[in-house]
Amino acid sequence: MIKEGVNKRLMFYLAGVLLLLVVVHVPRDEAPVQYVDRHSGQLVTEKIPGERWLLWLYDNPAGELTLNALVKRKFVSEIYGRMMDRPSSVKKIAPFVREYDIDMSQFRDTVYGSFNDFFMRRLRADARRIDPDPAVLVSPADGKVLAYRDVTGEDFLIKGNRFDLPAFLGDTALARMFAHGSMFIIRLAPVDYHRFHYPVDGKVLYEKRIDGSYYSVNPLALRRRVRLLCENERGYTVIESDRFGRMVMAEVGATMVGSIVQTHRGPRVVKGEEKGFFRFGGSTVVLLLQPGRILIDEDLLVNTANGLETAVRMGERLGRALPAAAGAAAAETAAAEAAKTAAKGAAATGEIIEVPATAGTAKEKERP
Q: Would you please indicate which residues are annotated as catalytic (active-site) residues? A: 142, 197, 283
Measure Cα distances from 243 to 29, 56, 68, 197 in Å. 46, 45, 43, 18
Q: What is the DSSP letter of 366?
A: P
From start to end of 42-103, where are the E strands? 43-45
Give the integer Cα–Cα distance in Å for 232 and 81: 17
Element (H, E) at 36: strand 34-37
303 Cβ contact partners less than 8 Å away, ≥ 6 residues apart: 36, 309, 310
CB 147 within 8 A of CB 304: yes
3, 68, 12: which is closest to 215 by C-alpha?
68
DSSP assignments along 88-155, one per residue: GGGGGHHHHHHHTT--GGGBS-S--SSHHHHHTPPBPTTSSPPP--TTEEE-SSSEEEEEES-TTTS-
Measure Cα distances from 325 to 14, 87, 330, 356 in Å. 60, 50, 9, 26
Beta-carbon count within 10 A of 141 CB: 26
Give the integer Cα–Cα distance in Å for 49 and 279: 16
368 Cβ contact partners less than 8 Å away, ≥ 6 residues apart: none
Element (H, E) at 343: helix 323-348
Element (H, E) at 177: helix 172-177
